[in-house]
């Protein structure tokens, strides 16, 4: 059942002549990990700031955890943990001291602070480094401490602006796994803004593609892919032992398969574009006709294909439309 914890309705922000966010409608459900994906200047940070009540919308509304972020920002702030893209700490203080300080600022009761800090440092994997000064922390460790700062107040929603910026690939993988674990185990709702396609793809349940202030599409990767590529969403490449001569005598029979939309032949590589998975049937067919199959490769359109497609169409089309796929 749908249970939106974030509801944005016609959310708009105009900076002079620039419409940074343009009539954004979006529901994010409780416990969901939602990725706001868009290039620099798309309006992601402005959207987040309006959701936190840190800047007022020109029109429209943002409801977070049942509170209007514009008229009731303090209530929203109590329920939401926000990690900006440039997390800062007091370098002369240890990780634990920094965390306790943030906890106090966020109104965590003094008698709970010690226990809560220890728990949170354990969760983010910094228990062993808690007495080190943050000046000695790597970027990845700082991101983990930033997450600890967000978690210390026990939020219902966490908003992470470009959380993987500047972390090495292993650090990114571990950080994203931690986010997923937190969301699944504690029912945390996560909104993650990024322009890194692969990072978003690894962790998000649903993605919104945000370009020039507008949400062009939203849905899970499969739905976006199906919507965008329709009958051409699957490509199967099959390599056979011997080069295939053209015209290929088997081609007319395979063209008659209802699911196959295109066949390409390049020496001993056969490529089939289809509306559904026909890989097993293709292999059986080829073996039945006496071909030695030496390789099979399937390609599903991923988020980068989707993203690219939206950018390409966005540069040539009027963008005053929104597709909603769920
Ligand atoms: N305070 C401001 N005054 C004027 N224009 C602004 C202001 N803040 C943002 N903008 C403009 O609004 C648009 C959206 O900016 P925003 O920072 O929200 O995008 P973003 O998607 O977060 O980009 P990035 O990934 O680079 O942070 C940009 O054109 C930006 O120049």
The predicted pLDDT at position 234 comes to: 80
CA of 313 to the centre of ligand 1 (A): 22
The ipTM of this complex is: 0.95
Pocket test residue of 43, 47, 57, 215 for ligand 1, highest count of atoms within 8 A of CB: 43
The predicted pLDDT at position 292 comes to: 96
The predicted pLDDT at position 202 comes to: 79
CA of 46 to the centre of ligand 1 (A): 6
In the structure, which protein residues have their CB atom closer than 6 angstroms to any atom of ligand 1? 15, 18, 20, 38, 40-46, 195
The predicted pLDDT at position 164 comes to: 85
Pocket test residue of 11, 17, 41 for ligand 1, highest count of atoms within 8 A of CB: 41
3-state secondary structure of 109: coil
CATH class of segment(s) 6-226: alpha beta
Residue holding tokens 């199967």? 236
Q: Which atom of ligand 1 is nearest to the CA of 42?
A: 21
Domain boundaries, the chain: 6-226, 232-299
CA 325 to chain centre: 15
Task: Give the angle subtended at the CA of 171 by the CAs of 165 and 176, to the nearest 5°.
Answer: 80
pLDDT tens for the chain, residues 1 to 326: 577 999 999 999 999 999 999 999 999 999 999 999 888 888 999 999 999 999 999 999 999 999 999 999 999 999 999 999 888 899 999 999 999 999 999 889 888 898 999 999 998 899 999 999 999 998 889 989 999 999 999 999 999 998 888 788 888 888 899 899 989 998 999 999 988 877 787 789 998 988 889 988 888 877 776 666 665 668 899 999 999 988 899 999 999 998 898 899 999 999 998 878 899 999 999 999 999 999 999 876 666 676 776 665 554 333 332 333 33
Q: What is the dihedral of CA 312, 313, 318, 320, to 10 degrees?
A: -110
Pocket test residue of 14, 15, 160 for ligand 1, highest count of atoms within 8 A of CB: 15
Q: Find, among 200, 185, 213, the residue nearest to 320 by Cα.
A: 213
CB burial string 78-91: b at 16+ within 10 A, e below: ebbbbbebebebee
Are residues 202 and 176 in contact, defined by beta-carbon separation less than 8 angstroms? Answer: yes
- Please give the full DSSP string across 21-59, using - where no structure is assigned: EEEEEEEEETT-EEEEE--TTSSHHHHHHHHTTSS--SE
The predicted pLDDT at position 252 comes to: 94
CA of 26 to the centre of ligand 1 (A): 19
User: 232-299 has which CATH code?
Assistant: 3.30.70.1560
Are residues 306 and 225 in contact, defined by beta-carbon separation less than 8 angstroms? Answer: yes
3-state secondary structure of 286: helix
Ligand 1, atom 25: closest residue by C-alpha: 40
Q: Which atom of ligand 1 is nearest to the CA of 46?
A: 18
CA of 108 to the centre of ligand 1 (A): 33
């Amino acid at each position: 059942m749908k249970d939106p914890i974030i509801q944005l309705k016609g959310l708009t922000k105009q900076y002079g002549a620039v419409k940074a966010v343009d009539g954004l409608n979006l529901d994010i459900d409780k416990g969901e990990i939602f990725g706001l994906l868009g290039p620099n200047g798309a309006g992601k940070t402005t959207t987040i700031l309006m959701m936190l009540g840190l800047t007022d919308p020109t029109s429209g509304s943002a409801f977070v955890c049942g509170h209007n972020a514009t008229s009731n920002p303090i209530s929203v702030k109590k329920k939401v943990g926000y990690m900006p893209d440039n997390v800062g700490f007091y370098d002369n203080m240890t990780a634990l001291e920094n965390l306790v300080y943030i906890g106090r600022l966020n109104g965590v009761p003094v008698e709970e602070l010690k226990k809560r800090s220890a728990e949170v440092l354990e969760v983010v994997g910094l228990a062993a480094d808690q007495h080190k000064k943050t000046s000695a922390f790597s970027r990845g460790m700082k991101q983990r401490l930033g997450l600890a700062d967000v978690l210390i107040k026990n939020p219902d929603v966490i908003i992470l602006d470009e959380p993987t910026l500047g972390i090495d690939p292993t650090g990114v993988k571990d950080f994203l796994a931690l986010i997923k674990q937190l969301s699944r185990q504690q029912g945390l709702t996560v909104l993650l803004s990024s322009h890194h396609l692969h990072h978003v793809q690894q962790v998000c349940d649903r993605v919104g593609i945000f370009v020039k202030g507008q949400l062009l599409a939203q849905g899970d990767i499969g739905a976006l892919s199906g919507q965008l590529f329709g009958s051409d969403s699957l490509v199967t490449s099959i390599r056979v032992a011997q080069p295939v001569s053209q015209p290929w005598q088997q081609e007319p029979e395979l063209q008659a398969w209802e699911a196959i939309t295109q066949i390409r032949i390049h020496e001993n590589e056969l490529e089939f574009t289809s509306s559904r998975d026909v890989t097993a049937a293709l292999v059986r067919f080829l073996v039945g006709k006496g071909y030695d199959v030496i390789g099979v490769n399937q390609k599903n359109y991923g988020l980068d294909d989707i993203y690219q497609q939206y950018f390409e169409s966005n540069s040539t089309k009027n963008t005053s439309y929104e597709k909603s796929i769920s």
